[in-house]
Amino acid sequence: MANLRQLTVGGVGALVLLGLLWEVWLAPLRPGGSMLFLKVVPLVLLMPGLWRGKRRTVQALSLVIQIYLTEGLVRATSDPGFSAKLAWLETALATMVFATTLLWAKGTRNAEVATPVAPETTDAAKPS
């Protein structure tokens, strides 16, 4: 489970770094940079929950990461030159993060199901 967590956090960190570098310096949409660097804000907001290993954050990330996967695929097939290569990198990272979040969420679910909760007894159910 720790390996999946490390892969997920590393992948999200790489996506944040790629998004910032791509839109500000490497191949911005407009010369001088564009406001598209703000696309990394949702990932940055999810990072603290990922560091703590919160299952709800992982579930939210599995939904959010699909936006980055879609953007990568669209820009990989429509952008020219170096931007297309960066888009393929984004697609690969987003795919890896999506796969690790699914496995991580599944692993934590199995851990929760394996720990049974003792049923509570009420006064009516107690023998006299």
Question: Which of 22-26, 57-61, 119-123 is predicted most confidently?
Answer: 57-61
* Domain residue ranges of the chain, discontinuous segments joined by +: 2-110
More confident residue, 113 or 73: 73
Taking a C-beta distance cutoff of 8 angstroms, is the pair 58, 50 a contact? yes
Residue 72's CB is within 10 A of a number of other CB atoms, namely 22
Average confidence (pLDDT) over 19-25: 93
**What is the spatial distance between Cα 13 and Cα 20, in angstroms, rounded to a whole number?**
11
Buried b (16+ CB within 10 A) or exposed e, 79-106: eeeebeebbebbbebbbbbbbbbebbbe
pLDDT tier at 1 (50, 70, 90 boundaries)? Answer: confident
Amino acid identity for residue 103 in this structure: L
- The continuous run of DSSP H or E covering 78 comes out as helix 55-78
pLDDT, tens digit (0-9, with 9 covering 90-100), for 67-102: 999 999 999 999 999 999 999 999 999 999 999 999
pTM equals: 0.82
Residue 44's CB is within 10 A of a number of other CB atoms, namely 13
More confident residue, 10 or 30: 10
